[in-house]
Structure 1
Amino acid sequence: MSSTEPAAASRVARWYRTSLAGHPAGRDFRQLWVGDTISQFGTQIGLIALPLLAVSVLGADEFEMGLLATFETLAFLVIGLPAGAWIDRMRKRDVLIAGDVVRGIALLTLPLAWLLGVLTFPLLLVVATVVGVATVFFDVAYQSYLPSLVPSSRISEGNAKLQVSQSVAQVAGPGIGGVLVRALGAPLVILLDALSFLGSALFVLRIRHREERPPATGRRALYVEIGEGLAFVFRQPLLRRIVATTAVSNLFGGISNALLVLYAIRDLGVGEAGLGLALSVGAVGGLAGALLAEPLIALVGEGRSIALALLPGLPALALVPLAHGHSPPVAIAMLAASTAVVGLGIVVYNVAQVSFRQRLCPRPLLGRMNASVRFVVWGTMPIGAFLGGVLGSRYGVVTALWVGVAGQMLGALPVLLSPLARMRDLPRDLDEHAGDEPATHRVDG
């Protein structure tokens, strides 16, 4: 045991040091990577703590859990589009730092309010909203910033490494979070999440690359620039199909996600540590997807990876509502299995499709393109969360979960029934993107 651990640590250290080796931005990418890793671990620990705070400390019911999940993602629907146009007018590094600091300070108010005895559900909704707004700006700037740090030919490598950090955090974070919530209580665990965002900001500050502020001359009206981002997304046939699948899947996934913690704690009786264990074990699938994404995409092809990656996870979605009525150990195993299989496919799908659209989009339009995509695909999540609260309170949690499963299965159809399922290579620039199946691409099948 002692001989293998140093070897594993050495491989991880070597992988870190050689990230984007040979490119001048390698150091800057590593600062972004480390900052994101810290933030991801804190987020995954806090992700389970926030709804557990609502359930265990504030006694939230089905409708309130749906409302909390709605407010967490509402910003993507409300300000997602103008955020992209604003970000294209800013230095993206500054946006990342501000997003981390705002989220850290907002989350700090929750443990402080708990210590002072003034913690309320409305305050929880306010903090969720503020964190959501900052996340909109951070995420859009983040995806738009990466192409300026790495060469176009290595965007997939950068995305895959960032995805590894997220997946490792998803493996360890919920389990650690569940144990910490059990031992310390949800408010103090949220404190760790807040500190992680502030730690992330410190590493982003170390990035040496400085973008030039986009010139104000020639700037058009905000609605014109927003329209350009939307037009880019919806004029590209392949992007339309990807966006449709992600949007529908997130709509119905929002139903399930809003009710999962309440369902696991109250109906399945698995406890905080059991839920954390299920999510951590299940997240091994996401980690496997992150580690295998690059070789799988190279083997199967970019287009087919996007179309087929979600397929194995569709039947696994049913394991969540089917866990009802089983003993806690069996229920934990079923939740873990579902999360693992679904997570593996989602990670491969995300690495392939995000890299494709980052590579395809002209640099000055990246912020608006990413914001347009997030507006559509994340904007459905608060709607789904609200529907989950309504369906759960009226028809029961299990019925609402089955609706979520059925909807996510239907959501895969736009890419499964598209030319993506037969395409190995995808366009590398707009000149190649004349239609669904350009003659310059290799199309198998």
Structure 2
Amino acid sequence: MPTAAQSAKGRGRPHRNFRLLLVGETTSKLGTSVTSVLLPLVAVTTLHASPFVVGLLTAAPWLPWLLIGLPAGAWVDRLAPRPVMLVCNAVSALVFVSVPLAWWLGVLAIGHVLCAALISGAASVFFSTAYSAYLPRLVATADLMHRNAQLQAGEQGARVAGPGLGGLIAQTVGSVPGLLLDAASFMVSSVCLIAISSDTPRPDPAPRRRLRREISDGLRFVSGDRCVRAVTAFAAAVNLAMAGLQAVQIVFLVRTVGVGSDTLGWLVSCGGLGGVLGGLVAGRLARRLGTARTLLVLQFTAAPFGLLAALAGPGPRLVFYVLGTAVLFAGVVACNVVIVSFRQAYCPPELLGRVTATTLFLNYSTIPVGALLGGSLASVLGARPAMWSVTAALVAAGGFLLVKPLRGLRDLPGAPVAES
């Protein structure tokens, strides 16, 4: 862990290492956001895939979390995180180069595209776990909130710009060649990682034991600590409801509200703009209110705005959707900044990879379930009642924050939030 002198030094000067990480990660997230548009387009327009196969393609990047999410944490804790991240970037870049290459050779098939999504998802499991363990080695513990907020703002900005950029690329150079942009973004991320000069020593790894025992250490920490357990359950519930919202919103806007394709893109991007705002204000709110109180205030102030989205209609009534999703996403992203910073500051360094993998495994496992429930509700009840249901579930997720000891705390346990 950094000393007090290192922490003061990190606060008192621009942090070159963090700037490199921020540039690399934002660039990589932009490439991933572009690919989220281009890869389904490749399947639909080039390979003429069925809706079921497109659904498989959407689920493929998340499947590795269910298969290798828990052991990934134990493996990452045994290794230095930066080499793991570099290897993951290299694998992802090669995967997205292989798709245009196969297309140019005339051998591209839907199985190749599905494998590309699956392999890139597996690389993301290891990268995300290693990245969460790497950040606390670059910045002072008290600065984690501010730095995570900047990273989240960059990620949300990339998510806003990515779909529009992806559509432009598809129109100009084509959806298949456009995947080379994502490969290039992973290379930029790697160059930034290589340029980082870490000034904090790596913690001594714990003695190696059987993989099952090491995985159980992470599970035991998450389930046994009341604060960690509560915020993990809250995040999983939010992901469940958010996945349902994202599964329903396009059908709702197009078939119920009657939005055209020219308006749909910017309406959906309003949530991302709200996310940028949430990343920017999270640290300020945490310093003023305390981290535990900030979670409560954000959840029970921002989440009810999501109910407005279900009131959307043609013309001026679109403002309900814009306002509702923008404020909702701002609250979700700001809460995520607080939770990630808490986990990084609170967990023992030698357990951080396993604890991160465990929490992400639990959080991401609810995404496909939420998407399935949202789609089922829309099929049975209709799109607007489904919107009411999933946004109400987002409000109800706050119940996990009302348990003891969270409701009586000003701050979550761990280091205080530094002034930025």
Q: 1:265-304 counterparts in 2 under 5 A? A: 270=259, 274-304=263-293
Cross-structure match for 1:420: 406
Cross-structure match for 1:441: none
Q: 1:313 to 1:189 in 2, by over 3 A?
A: farther
- 2:365 partner amino acid: G
Larger mean CA deviation between 62-71 and 330-339 belongs to 330-339
Cross-structure match for 1:346: 332
Cross-structure match for 2:178: 189
Larger mean CA deviation between 268-277 and 77-86 belongs to 268-277
Cross-structure match for 1:74: 63
- 2:81 partner amino acid: K
> What per-residue deviation string (whole Å, max 9, x for no partner) do you get for residues 115-171 of structure 1?
455544433322221111111101111111011111212111221221221132233
**SS class of match (1:310):** helix
Larger mean CA deviation between 151-160 and 382-391 belongs to 382-391
Cross-structure match for 1:14: none
Q: 1:144-155 counterparts in 2 under 5 A? A: 144-155=133-144
Instruction: Determine if the alignment matches structure 1 residue 169 to structure 2 residue 158.
Output: yes
- Structure 1 unaligned residues grouped into runs of 5+: 1-18, 433-445
Q: 1:185 to 1:401 in 2, by over 3 A?
A: farther
- Structure 2 unaligned residues grouped into runs of 5+: 1-8
Q: 1:112 to 1:150 in 2, by over 3 A?
A: same
Instruction: Determine if the alignment matches structure 1 residue 111 to structure 2 residue 100.
Output: yes
Measured after TM superposition, the shift of residue 333 of structure 1 is 5.4
> What per-residue deviation string (whole Å, max 9, x for no partner) do you get for residues 297-341 of structure 1?
112221011223133443443455555xx44x7687555434311
Larger mean CA deviation between 91-100 and 180-189 belongs to 180-189
- Distance across 1 between alignment mates of 2:157 and 2:362: 28
Measured after TM superposition, the shift of residue 345 of structure 1 is 0.3
**SS class of match (1:317):** helix
- Distance across 2 between alignment mates of 1:187 and 1:320: 34
Cross-structure match for 2:245: 256
Cross-structure match for 1:383: 369
Contact preservation (8 Å) 1:289, 1:345: yes
- 2:90 partner amino acid: V
- Distance across 2 between alignment mates of 1:171 and 1:366: 30
Q: 1:193 to 1:273 in 2, by over 3 A?
A: farther
- Distance across 1 between alignment mates of 2:128 and 2:223: 21
**SS class of match (2:278):** helix
Larger mean CA deviation between 217-226 and 239-248 belongs to 217-226
- Distance across 2 between alignment mates of 1:234 and 1:123: 39
Instruction: Determine if the alignment matches structure 1 residue 133 to structure 2 residue 126.
Output: no
Q: 1:128 to 1:383 in 2, by over 3 A?
A: farther
Measured after TM superposition, the shift of residue 276 of structure 1 is 3.2
Cross-structure match for 2:209: 220
Measured after TM superposition, the shift of residue 30 of structure 1 is 2.0
Q: 1:201 to 1:78 in 2, by over 3 A?
A: same
- Distance across 1 between alignment mates of 2:103 and 2:392: 39
- Distance across 2 between alignment mates of 1:316 and 1:249: 14
Larger mean CA deviation between 300-309 and 53-62 belongs to 53-62
Q: 1:239 to 1:125 in 2, by over 3 A?
A: same
Larger mean CA deviation between 237-246 and 50-59 belongs to 50-59
Cross-structure match for 1:83: 72
- 1:339 partner amino acid: T
Q: 1:50 to 1:101 in 2, by over 3 A?
A: same
Q: 1:368 to 1:273 in 2, by over 3 A?
A: farther
- Distance across 1 between alignment mates of 2:317 and 2:167: 16
> What per-residue deviation string (whole Å, max 9, x for no partner) do you get for residues 378-428 of structure 1?
122233344556666777666655553343333222114554344222222
Cross-structure match for 1:362: 348
- Distance across 2 between alignment mates of 1:219 and 1:426: 31
Cross-structure match for 2:395: 409
2:32 to 25, 43, 47: 43
Q: 1:352 to 1:390 in 2, by over 3 A?
A: same
- Distance across 2 between alignment mates of 1:351 and 1:124: 33
Measured after TM superposition, the shift of residue 104 of structure 1 is 1.8
- 2:362 partner amino acid: V
Q: Give the RMSD, CA atoms, in angstroms.
A: 3.3
**SS class of match (2:60):** helix
Q: 1:187 to 1:408 in 2, by over 3 A?
A: farther
Contact preservation (8 Å) 1:66, 1:386: no
Cross-structure match for 1:30: 19
- Distance across 2 between alignment mates of 1:122 and 1:340: 37
- 2:334 partner amino acid: V
- 1:410 partner amino acid: A
Cross-structure match for 1:16: none
Contact preservation (8 Å) 1:286, 1:340: yes
Larger mean CA deviation between 173-182 and 343-352 belongs to 173-182
**SS class of match (1:311):** helix
Larger mean CA deviation between 208-217 and 105-114 belongs to 208-217
> Aligned pair count?
408
Q: 1:321 to 1:104 in 2, by over 3 A?
A: farther
> What per-residue deviation string (whole Å, max 9, x for no partner) do you get for residues 356-380 of structure 1?
1111111111101111111111122
Contact preservation (8 Å) 1:67, 1:385: no
- 1:424 partner amino acid: R
Q: 1:217 to 1:413 in 2, by over 3 A?
A: closer
Q: 1:265 to 1:417 in 2, by over 3 A?
A: same
- 1:123 partner amino acid: H
Measured after TM superposition, the shift of residue 261 of structure 1 is 5.4
**SS class of match (2:62):** helix
